[in-house]
Structure 1
Amino acid sequence: MMMTERNMISSISMMYRQAHRFYDKKLEEYNISSGQLTFLLCIHEHEGISMYGVAQLGHFDKGTVTKGIQKLEEQGYIRVETDEADKRSRRLYTTGKAVLIIERLYGIRQEWNEILVDGLTPEECAKAEELLGRMAENAWKYMNERN
């Protein structure tokens, strides 16, 4: 049975909202929101990345990245340094405070993933990951070819 457009969009929207609720609750003790989690893990995985690099990797607009980075810096989870080779560019690094909780953050993300795939076979999980990845790429490609 083919999922209707409305059901597909509604399901994706519901998962998105529930993910934010889950992350916001789990991250409350760290004073990190669901939106900041993605930025913090990206910076951890790519120490010295620029804000533009974060935007590109996550397909975020620059304004969203700037706000999220500013909050993480204010909270002491990241430090921002001016690039010596290009004074216009700012490099991002995690701090010791972030390093202390990084493994817990990955665990929280894994916990949500396990909730989502509960009851699915490994084959269904692989297919879902493939299809959602293709759908996300289609959305990104469409919007970026039009702007």
Structure 2
Amino acid sequence: MSRCINYISDLKFKELKLQKGQFTFLTRICENNGINQVDLSNLLKVDKTTTAKAIQKLIDAGYIYKEKDESDKRMWRLYPKKKALEAYSFIIDEENRNIGVCFDKFNQEEKELVYELVKKMRKNIESDWKEVKKF
């Protein structure tokens, strides 16, 4: 299921000239204005190298920019440009469409049950992720 959604999303987001998976980085930067690279990596549960590559590609494509943190000059803060905010609206609309397709023919009780089960699964996998990452 996840691969199908990612495939569809990658096709849709080619219009935005976003490469595979970059939309997840873009959306989190738009939702967390001024986030730093470490926090972004932790939020997305990816390694720092993957984040660095994605950030550079988004900067090169004109979606985001970075500024040095005023209190810690070693840290960079990430901000969306107008182009990113416009793309964000398109991405969120597409994500909502995907959710609608996934929940087609589900009643409210089934939707709530799925939500609770996925939330429980997320907690389990995050615990394991933290253990593996030695957080």
Alpha-carbon distance, 1:34 to partner: 4.7
SS in structure 2 of the partner of residue 101 of structure 1: helix
SS in structure 1 of the partner of residue 21 of structure 2: helix
- Runs of 4+ residues over 4 Å off in structure 1: none
- In the alignment, the residues of structure 1 paired with residue 97 and residue 4 of structure 2 have an alpha-carbon distance, to the nearest angstrom, of 13
- In the alignment, the residues of structure 1 paired with residue 129 and residue 33 of structure 2 have an alpha-carbon distance, to the nearest angstrom, of 29
- Alignment of 1:117 onto 2:96: no
- In the alignment, the residues of structure 1 paired with residue 61 and residue 130 of structure 2 have an alpha-carbon distance, to the nearest angstrom, of 33
Residue 22 of structure 1 corresponds to which residue in structure 2? 8
Q: Work out whether residues 41 and 102 of structure 1, in 8 Å CA contact, stay in contact via their aligned partners in 2.
A: yes
Q: 1:17 to 1:51 in 2, by over 3 A?
A: same
Among 62, 66, 80, the residue aligned to 2:66: 80
Paired residues in the alignment total 133
Unaligned runs of 5+ in 1: 1-14
TM-score relative to the length of structure 1? 0.83
Identity of aligned pairs, percent? 34
Alpha-carbon distance, 1:141 to partner: 0.7
- In the alignment, the residues of structure 2 paired with residue 33 and residue 104 of structure 1 have an alpha-carbon distance, to the nearest angstrom, of 15
Residue 10 of structure 1 corresponds to which residue in structure 2? none
- In the alignment, the residues of structure 2 paired with residue 31 and residue 134 of structure 1 have an alpha-carbon distance, to the nearest angstrom, of 35
Residue 96 of structure 1 corresponds to which residue in structure 2? 82
RMSD: 1.4
Q: Work out whether residues 23 and 33 of structure 1, in 8 Å CA contact, stay in contact via their aligned partners in 2.
A: no
Among 39, 51, 70, the residue aligned to 2:37: 51
Unaligned runs of 5+ in 2: none
Among 36, 40, 47, the residue aligned to 1:61: 47
- In the alignment, the residues of structure 2 paired with residue 32 and residue 41 of structure 1 have an alpha-carbon distance, to the nearest angstrom, of 12
Q: Amino acid of the residue matched to residue 83 of structure 1? A: D
